[in-house]
Amino acid sequence: MGRMLAKLCEGEVREGRPMLGSVVVRKDRGIPGGGYFREAQRLRGVSMCTDAQRRAFWAQEVERVYQYWSEH
């Protein structure tokens, strides 16, 4: 599943869209797993060292996904 989501996110970012995989969360934590954040760092070039930074990035990206797809 992780590899599929990584490919999906990579394609979306390449096309100038937000990371669609942002809406996929772990059942036990309610947020994406570590692979999502590693991909975000690679694709978006952001540094996320703390849980607060990861949560802030994720929340912003989820908002971007909903905003983009509500308009298209």
The predicted structure's pLDDT at residue 69: 97
- Using the 8-state DSSP alphabet, how is residue 28 labeled? T
Instruction: Give pLDDT tens digits for 11-32.
Output: 999 999 999 999 999 999 999 9
Runs of H (alpha helix) within the chain: 2-14, 34-44, 51-71
Question: Confidence class of residue 6 from pLDDT cuts 50, 70 and 90?
Answer: very high
- When pLDDT is averaged across residues 29-56 and rounded to a whole number, the result is 96
Q: Name the pTM for this structure.
A: 0.92
- When pLDDT is averaged across residues 54-59 and rounded to a whole number, the result is 98
Contact call for residues 19 and 9 (beta carbons, < 8 A): yes
Q: What is the mean pLDDT of the chain?
A: 96
The predicted structure's pLDDT at residue 59: 98
